[in-house]
Amino acid sequence: MPAYATNMRMKFPIVALALEIITIILFAVFVVYDDGKGHGHGHDAHSNKTHPEPAQPMELYPMFQDVHVMIFIGFGFLMTFLKRYGFSSVGVNLLLAAFGLQWGLLMQGLWHLEDGKIKVNILKIINADFSTATVLISFGAVLGKTSPVQLLIMTIMEITIFSINEHLVANVLEANDVGASMIIHAFGAYFGLAVARVLYRPGLKNGHDNDGSVYHSDLFAMIGTVFLWMFWPSFNSAIAEPGFTQLTAVINTYLSLAACVLSAYAISSLVEHRGKLDMVHIQNATLAGGVAVGTCADMNIGPFGAMLIGLVAGIVSTLGFKYLTPILASKLGIQDTCGVHNLHGMPGILGGLAGIVACLHSRLPSSSHLLPLRGDAAMQAAALASSLGFALVGGVVTGLIMKLPFWGQPPDQNCYDDSIYWEVPEEEEEHEESLAHADHSKNKAEV
């Protein structure tokens, strides 16, 4: 067993403060307010269009707030399902996202400097929030097995690599990915899985006592699920072209998610003992429709097309949780705590494929479409490949850095347990319970 130095007293404060101070210096050099006088500041980061400047600087603000809720409440509470890891889930989620949005604003902005400056506006902070989503997805794969310092390192690495791939996909390949199925969801998932593979822990092969939920922790997780589910139409449409294109993105996502719920519930019941529903599926697979419809959310796929995508995503995701996750862990050494492969990985690829099909279909002369279909199937395919490639290579490199022995990762027996990095209140009840339990054993022995 390697040595574990989990005392964070010096290393965490130093890393966190150093990163923040460096970031502030970079902001002092590069970042100014948008004054509306620039050119092209309406250009969004991960879509190949320059959309007209919004009439009002605050026009997208309600959309931003929806995305903000998804990042901080949605992802944060979704991961509180673990019985003894809720503080880390929602707390470290806040830490990573708060740092990530600053770093993301810099990394994304560097590709679009105006007079040497990054001009912050609502679109830019939406994209900054988006960039953190990649990290939060990867966080799900390694949840419970990493220290806050390791995760801060992952945040810098992943957002930097994400920004390169995003630039490539949106500006070089000019592919469409309005809801970011490829560049956020698939990217974040495979990045996280690669990290998890590098950090493989043989000691957890047979599971861990704390790697499970209790009744109330599952309810906390549903807060995350439902907020993600409700605001996903904003995620997929926030950077779409204003007007009817944005409306299309909203409607496609709304319907895809609704159809996805039905198939996730149906398959969960089908594969479980006595047809019972499994909370893991409900918390996660119901969201796969939002991921899978992302790339083509703003295309004219028809409302029923969106629903079909959602239906398939719910099926694929639920089956993944039931059958694929255990195989990944046992055969490939990929211990995916939250099953991000099923919620973000496969549905993200499905989304990328749907985007390719939608582009192919738009070439047919018979297809009538209200909305112009941009992009080219080959470019879409290249964008998917690029996203997967950057994710896997970036994840392996990042994992190797995270594996260095001085970042305070927890020993196996302290995984999935807040008390290694948090002051956890003494639970009077629990204490008594364990006394009672000990007591019981004693009595049992007497009998």
Nearest approach in angstroms of CB 157 to its own copies is 17
**Rounded CA gap, 360 and 87, in Å?**
46
Nearest approach in angstroms of CB 388 to its own copies is 30
Nearest approach in angstroms of CB 35 to its own copies is 5
Which tokens go with 101? 């949005």
Nearest approach in angstroms of CB 165 to its own copies is 23
| Stated length of the chain | 447
Contact indicator for 103, 132 with CB cutoff of 8 Å? no
Q: Which is nearer to its own copies, 321 or 390 (CB)?
A: 321
Nearest approach in angstroms of CB 445 to its own copies is 12
Nearest approach in angstroms of CB 200 to its own copies is 26
Contact indicator for 87, 230 with CB cutoff of 8 Å? no
Nearest approach in angstroms of CB 150 to its own copies is 14
Buried b / exposed e over 185-205, threshold 16 CB at 10 Å, is: bbbbbbbbbbbbbbbbbeebe
Nearest approach in angstroms of CB 44 to its own copies is 16
Q: Which is nearer to its own copies, 205 or 437 (CB)?
A: 437
**Rounded CA gap, 409 and 12, in Å?**
12
Which 3 state secondary structure label does DSSP give 29? helix
Nearest approach in angstroms of CB 403 to its own copies is 21
Contact indicator for 176, 295 with CB cutoff of 8 Å? yes
**Nearest Cα to 48, choosing from 392, 395, 391, 359?**
359
Bridge partners, residue 32, by sequence: 119
**Nearest Cα to 336, choosing from 289, 379, 296, 395?**
395
DSSP one-letter string for 361-397:
HHHSTT---SSPPPS-HHHHHHHHHHHHHHHHHHHHH
Bridge partners, residue 117, by sequence: 114
- 237's enclosing H/E stretch is helix 215-237
Per-residue H/E/C for 87-141 = HHHHHHHHHHHHHHHHHHHHHHHHHHCECCEEEECHHHHHHHHHHHHHHHHHHHH
Sign, CA dihedral 148-150-151-157, equals positive
Nearest approach in angstroms of CB 125 to its own copies is 6
Q: Which is nearer to its own copies, 289 or 345 (CB)?
A: 289
**Rounded CA gap, 165 and 390, in Å?**
7
**Rounded CA gap, 380 and 333, in Å?**
31
**Nearest Cα to 227, choosing from 96, 338, 75?**
75
